[in-house]
């Protein structure tokens, strides 16, 4: 199948590590030129170097904190310039908010989670739009908490539905301009953040990390976590020409974890 990604101009946020890194790497492997950002310049540069060594693609790394409107706007505009004036693919992403139950939340915590997850998603739409052309597309990422509130992840659970609603609204509003907007739901994908989450859980429950991993894997019908490559493969498909008739769609990559019909 020809994915049509060679020489496409892509922007992937929060990509020094984890899901963003995996998506950027997979797009580069398909021949796209990719602008990536993260907050930590050293880790970002290391990620860019790895991608270039593995794929030979053109990578533009730049430090950006997506919770800052000014930083985000500057990164999107600079990246569009560096990539040649327009964007074919935009993949908004951000780190996850702190874990906690409702009892752990604070006004400041809610405001920070709003900036990190929902306001950044809104800003990616408004700042990217002038650089998008007919045939361009955006791919948002949320979380399985969108369909089923997750214990101890209340900030994520409350903010993600807004991102999903934004993605669907943009798909409806931009379809006449030839711009597609889709949305991916990661289930549990093995990233460094998930390792940290498991270590934290094990400490709080007084059990081993292996026990936590085994119990959480058993809750997934496929019996295991997804790999970053499996997640990135779904992203690559949705942003590619192979998905040219798909917009407003939500695809879960979760090993069967979501059992609801819709
Ligand atoms: P993560 O949340 O640790 O993200 C890592 C990347 O985000 C790093 O490159 C980091 O530098 C960057 N980042 C964090 N905050 C940033 C900011 N303010 N500005 C710019 N970059 C920032 O790990 P992840 O597992 O890759 O998750 C990515 C997103 O997907 C998160 O929002 C997470 O909550 C969500 N998610 C992940 C999973 C999973 O299984 N991994 C499941 C559901 C949802």
For every residue of 184-243, DSSP letters joined together read: EEE-SB--HHHHHHHHHHHHHHTS-HHHHHHHHHHTSTTSSPBPHHHHHHHHHHHHSGGG
When pLDDT is averaged across residues 183-197 and rounded to a whole number, the result is 95
| Mean pLDDT (the chain, rounded) | 96
Q: Determine which residue's CA is closest to atom 2 belonging to ligand 1.
A: 95
Q: How confident is the model over 231-256, as pLDDT tens digits?
A: 999 999 999 999 999 999 999 999 99
**Domains located in the chain, CATH noted:** 9-189+226-243 (3.40.50.720)
Burial zone of 163 (CB within 10 Å; 0-12 exposed, 13-18 middle, 19+ buried): buried
Cα Rg, the chain, nearest whole Å: 18
How far are the Cα atoms of 3, 57, 168, 228 from residue 6, in angstroms, in the given order?
A: 8, 10, 27, 21
Which two structure tokens, joined as six digits, stand for 146? 């969108």
Output the residue whose Cα is nearest ligand 1's atom 19: 65
Alpha-carbon dihedral 121, 248, 231, 91, rounded to 10 degrees: -30
| Model confidence, pTM | 0.98
pLDDT for 153-163, tens place per residue? 999 999 999 99
* Residue 96 CA, closest ligand 1 atom number: 34
Ligand 1 atom nearest the C-alpha of 144 is 43
């Amino acid at each position: 199948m020809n994915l049509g990604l060679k020489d496409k101009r892509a922007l992937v946020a929060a990509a020094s590590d984890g899901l963003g890194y995996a998506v950027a790497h997979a797009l580069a492997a398909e021949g796209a030129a990719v602008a990536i950002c993260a907050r930590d310049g050293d880790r970002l540069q290391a990620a860019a170097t790895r991608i270039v060594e593995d794929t030979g693609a053109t990578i533009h790394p730049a430090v950006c904190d997506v919770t800052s409107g000014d930083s985000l706007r500057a990164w999107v505009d600079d990246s569009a310039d560096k990539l040649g004036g327009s964007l074919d693919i935009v993949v908004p992403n951000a780190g996850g908010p702190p874990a906690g139950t409702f009892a752990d939340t604070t006004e400041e915590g809610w405001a920070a989670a709003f900036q990190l997850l929902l306001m950044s998603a809104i800003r990616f739409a408004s700042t990217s739009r002038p650089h998008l052309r007919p045939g361009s597309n955006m791919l948002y990422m949320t979380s399985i908490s969108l369909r089923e509130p997750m214990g101890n992840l209340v900030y994520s659970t409350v903010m993600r539905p807004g991102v999903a609603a934004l993605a669907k609204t943009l798909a409806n509003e931009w379809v006449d301009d030839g711009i597609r907007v889709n949305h991916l739901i990661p289930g549990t994908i093995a990233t460094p953040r998930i390792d940290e989450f498991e270590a934290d859980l094990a400490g709080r429950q007084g059990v081993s990390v292996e026990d936590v991993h085994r119990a959480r894997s058993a809750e997934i019908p496929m019996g295991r976590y997804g790999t970053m490559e499996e997640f990135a493969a779904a992203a690559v498909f949705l942003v590619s020409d192979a998905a040219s008739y798909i917009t407003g769609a939500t695809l879960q990559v979760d090993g069967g974890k979501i059992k609801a019909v819709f």
